[in-house]
Amino acid sequence: MMKLVEFSVTNYRSITVANKIKLHDFTVLVGKNNEGKSNLLNALNVAMMVVRENGYIKRAQVARGRYKSQFYDWERDFPVQFQGRTRGLESIFKLEFQLNEMELVEFQKETKIRGNEAIPITVRIGRDNIPKLEVPKKGSSSYKEKSTLVTKFISERIYINYIQAVRTEQMALRTLKDVIDIELMRLDDNSDYRDAVNKIYSLRQTVLDDISDQLLAPMKVFLPNLKDIKMEQTDKSRFDFWPRTQQLDIILDDGVATSIDHKGDGIKSLVTLAILKERSTKQGASLIAIEEPESHLHSGAIHNLVEVIKGIAKNNQVIISTHNPLFVQQNSISSNIIINEGDAHPAKNISEIRSILGVWPSDNLKNARFVLVVEGEEDRVSLIKILPLYSDVIKKALLNNQLVIKSLGGASNLVHDLADLQHSMCNYVVLLDNDKAGSEAAKKALSKGLLKTEQLRQTICNGMSEAEFEDCLNPEMYILSLEEKYNITIRGHKEFKTKKKWSDRLKNVFLDQGIKWSAAVEFEVKAIVAGCIPENGNLDKILIPQKSGFISGLVSAVEKMVSDEMNNK
């Protein structure tokens, strides 16, 4: 479908200099407060709505200069500091649209213009508030002569939903109902609607019921107790063609059927976004601009909302402004636009995004894009030596500090540390012991949306119900060091031959020979074992092949994490 690939604006509110922005399927505007993110989204909405208005109003009205946009007011929107000058008194919006092959065929048929897939449109609005639209196609007079046909073609095939930061109940309801109005516009071409007013109620209700059915599943993500959603027309006697939602009420049943009027602003925002995610794309291409989607939502809902917006971006172009690092496009750095001191440019690296958002990771993560999270310090030391023997990609990433191996200091710290890593905009893979503590920590992180199944690996060893990292290491590498340190016998000891996990086996060996086992002793023993792994050693001598398969899986997950980022640069 058609896409908006480029946008710029000059002389609109705080934006006085043109900044050309390339738009992707999902574009994120990041910046400090009062740097122009909201004004940029507002400007995009003005330009798109003017194009759409131009495509629907009567041509004669435009020709006679009677058409004034309802979305722009010169005294409000033109920079105040320039309103007293004698020249340059227009706000200028520039859009560039890209058509697919099928749309090009339709374009030629409707406009009689042969052209390529790129169509620029310029919107100028001066003191009289009357928009002037141009198609400044270089080397082609046909575009300029038929600018009305060109803009009509565009306006019929792409539309925008602009969702402002929800700051008041009235704004929240208006935003929500504006989105539903766009859905109801598909009735405009229905002959029954136009020819038989007495059918309007049932036709509208069919659409509303369809929206309600589509909403239930996505909204249950945020409201687990939600049983039903109903959209009811509150005044059956009145059927104004516009606006269609004046007589609409939305009922959410989460045990008690309640009008959305009496729900919080966060719920209104979630319903709006859920509608956008589930709706049909039959109307044509869609551009969705969302200002600070995280507004009025608690942290748990924001995690789910990230996935909802990514789902929206599969069938729509999405551009958002945000202060929340969870929305940053980590796998496509150039899709994040830095807004700072009147300038807008694609982010160059993750450090630049962190700086503008005021995110300051710990020193060891300052330059890292990728993190391998492990349970203990001894696991970290071991893997720093082992992983480069498996993979040159991982070896290089470790050497240039793109990849850091981070120790949790215990599985119970997983949720806290993953939340910090998300805030620091790090991609991560997690390796946990395959025991009760590791499995419970993984389950909790998965349930909170901090971890995905594909990011998780556990130390699963053949023939063992529970295992930890040391279970995959060849005992011949470290037994002598432990025996000499503690003056005990490990080789051949019956307790060391059982199928219990490694630390339980060592504990029983120590106890059997009169040495108390404690957390401090366990830490010291594991540190000795990790220290016995040679640098640039032979994997066949370091690992037990039958019990180290999970490391191959871990290597694949880490390589994919690193490679995906490199491929998206």
**Quick check: is 57 in a domain?**
yes
The residue from 241, 269, 297 where one domain ends is: 269
In the listed set 157, 185, 214, which residue is the last one of a domain according to the structure?
157
478 and 414 fall within a common domain: no
CA–CA separation, 127 vs 76, rounded Å?
A: 11
pLDDT digits (tens, 9 = 90+) for 392-415: 999 988 887 788 999 999 999 999
Same domain, 179 and 223: yes
* Residue 331 placed within a domain: no
What pLDDT does 11 receive?
Answer: 94
Question: Distance (Å, rounded) from C-alpha 275 to C-alpha 91?
Answer: 33
Residue 179 lies inside a defined structural domain of this protein? yes
**3 pLDDT exceeds 50?**
yes
Q: Record the tokens describing residue 5, joined without a space.
A: 């690939």
Give the pLDDT score at 184.
67
For the chain, the domain total comes to 4
Across the range 520-537, mean pLDDT stands at 93
Is residue 329 domain-resident? no
**Does the structure show a pLDDT above 90 at 47?**
yes
Pinpoint the alpha helices (H) of 126-239.
141-145, 147-155, 169-184, 191-195, 200-220
Same domain, yes or no: 429 and 543: yes
Region of 151 (left: φ > 0; alpha: ψ -120 to 50; beta: rest) is alpha
Whether residue 555 sits in one domain with residue 442: yes
Is 75 inside a domain boundary? yes
Q: Are residues 456 and 483 in the same domain?
A: no
Residues 465, 482 within the same domain? no
Q: What is the pTM of this model?
A: 0.67
- Please indicate whether residue 98 or residue 172 has the higher confidence score (pLDDT): 98
Which CATH number is 381's domain given?
Answer: 3.40.50
235 & 133 share domain: no
The residue-averaged pLDDT of 446-466 equals 94
Least confident of 309-318, 380-389, 481-490: 309-318
Q: What is the DSSP string of 383-432?
A: HHHHHHHH-HHHHHHHHTTSEEEEE-SSGGGHHHHHHHHHHTT-EEEEEE
Mean of the pLDDT values across residues 366-374? 82
Determine, yes or no, domain membership for 328.
no
Q: Calculate what percentage of the chain has a pLDDT beyond 90.
A: 44
The residue from 210, 245, 269 where one domain ends is: 269
Per-residue pLDDT for 133 more than 60?
A: yes
| Helix and strand element counts for the chain (H, E) | 21, 18
Together in a domain, 172 and 86: no
Q: What's the length of the chain? A: 569
Q: Read out DSSP for 16-34? A: -S---EE--SEEEEEE-TT
Residue 356, in any domain of the structure: no
**487 and 543 fall within a common domain:** no
Which domain does 12 fall in, by range?
Answer: 3-23+34-157
**Residues 9 and 104 grouped into a single domain:** yes
Q: Is residue 29 part of a domain?
A: no
DSSP letter, residue 534: P
Query: What is the predicted pLDDT for the residue at 241?
Result: 42
Average of per-residue pLDDT across 67-75:
84
Are residues 114 and 212 part of one domain? no
Q: Are residues 425 and 547 in the same domain?
A: yes
